[in-house]
Homo-oligomer: A and B are copies of this chain.
């Protein structure tokens, strides 16, 4: 199958009619119109097998996740998704792989009325790079550098499911050991969280003008809060007992292994944000409509770095933090 057929498979599955796409796939470049009064928000993330997803992941899940991790970055900026481009490098022109991949990508794209506007398929080791585009009203983008001392620190959803899902994949010995006695239903739930994260777009949009700083939890909770702390010139204190866990996570992971997965596991794709203490309750009320739980886990303090406190108030020793792709 030639390159042009691959692009056609992707185009036919992933194209959305949008009035702001003057010219989509099929020319040297796409021509696009950003709405008046809006800024363009752009991010790019690459997935490679064995690093960003388990080797035996279904192609449909790879397609979903390649878009989801980028939409999660847009959510962290408060942006509304609009378009994406895809650079797909494949070892061979495997039509079934491409069709399954396109199906997963298209399923998530349709949920957000996102149009695939360009792409490139090349021959080589499997690598998936997506660039995603969204809009925010000018000046309204959420950033990492606005946290103030005294702000509440809040996370969406539950933390640790992605890391536990990776343990379920059974490709790392230590992970397999952690989940050795996990019930089958819990494994399936956690694996689904790993393979099909739900970018928190509606929450991000609701945080515009309200959150003082925001980031998505992809590298690990402590590492990502550390990015906020550093950019904002503050410290962050987290109460370990407040970090929300899903029932599948609790069912699958032994009590003494939970906190390490939650603090450093990554792959959560939840949002972590800060909000002024006196605006927190009003914001929580406004977020109730999204159906996604939010949990206050700590506060912004004077100083630097992230400190995690256990229930008796003593500092938890955090394992070497965060996801680094070269390790």
Contacts and interface: CB of A to CB of B under 8 A. Distances in A.
Given A29-B43, A33-B40, 10 more contacts: A27-B231, A31-B77, A34-B40, A40-B40, A42-B85, A44-B119, A44-B129, A51-B123, A51-B124, A90-B326
Given A3-B326, A123-B325, A44 B77 contact: no
A138 B31 CA distance: 9
Interface string A29-54: 11111101001111111111001100
A298 interface: no
B46 A30 contact: no
A136 interface: yes
A144 B27 contact: yes
B89 A29 contact: no
A129 B42 contact: no
B138 A33 contact: yes
A6 B326 CA distance: 10
**Range for the number of chain A residues in contact with chain B:** 35 or more
Interface of A: 1-4, 6, 22-23, 26-34, 36, 39-48, 51-52, 73-74, 76-77, 79, 83, 85-87, 89-90, 92-93, 117-125, 127, 129, 131-134, 136, 138, 141, 143-145, 214-216, 231, 324-327
